[in-house]
Amino acid sequence: MKINQHTTDHTLTLVLDGELDASSSVLLDTELNQPSILEYQKVLIDCQRLNYISSAGLGVFISHLQRFQDANVKLVFFNMQEKVHNVFEILGLDSLLTIVPSEAEATAI
């Protein structure tokens, strides 16, 4: 699992590359736990190269969602592969999280 990031003005984009499981999700948790992340207006999660997610990865997003909402930081997922999106759907997380097809739509939110 690799996490690259880039920033523009008030937006931080995290680019996930690989498989997010009980072993690698610690890395993502560390990234989202940075206090400075709450200074952005939006955190975009680029999922194009995210090939797998387990409950450990989902749990990291679930655990930070309220903290982001309290700080008025929008968390938006985009470019998600069908098999990964399906995992969010199985739990109904697609209705609790903001998931859009493309980066353009994520940027427009």
Partner 1 sequence: MKNAIRVSCTRRNLKVVRDFVSEFLEHYKLSELHINQIVLAVDEVVANLIIHGNSEDESRFLDVRLSMKNQEFGIEIEDESPTSYSPASYREPDLQEFVRIGKKGGVGMMLVNRIMDRVEFTTQGLHNICRLHKKIV
- The dihedrals phi and psi of 6, each to the nearest 5 degrees, come to -145, 155
Instruction: Name which position in 58, 76, 99, 106 contacts partner 1 (CB under 8 A).
Output: 58
Give me the helices (H) in 23-102, please: 25-32, 55-70, 82-91
| By the rule CB under 8 A, 93 interacts with partner 1 | yes
Closer residue to partner 1, CB minimum distance, 48 or 54: 54
37: Cβ contacts below 8 Å, ≥ 6 apart: 12, 31, 43, 73
| By the rule CB under 8 A, 71 interacts with partner 1 | no
| By the rule CB under 8 A, 4 interacts with partner 1 | no
Which residues here bind partner 1, judged by CB under 8 A?
19, 21-23, 29, 52, 54-56, 58-60, 62-67, 82-83, 86-87, 90-93, 96
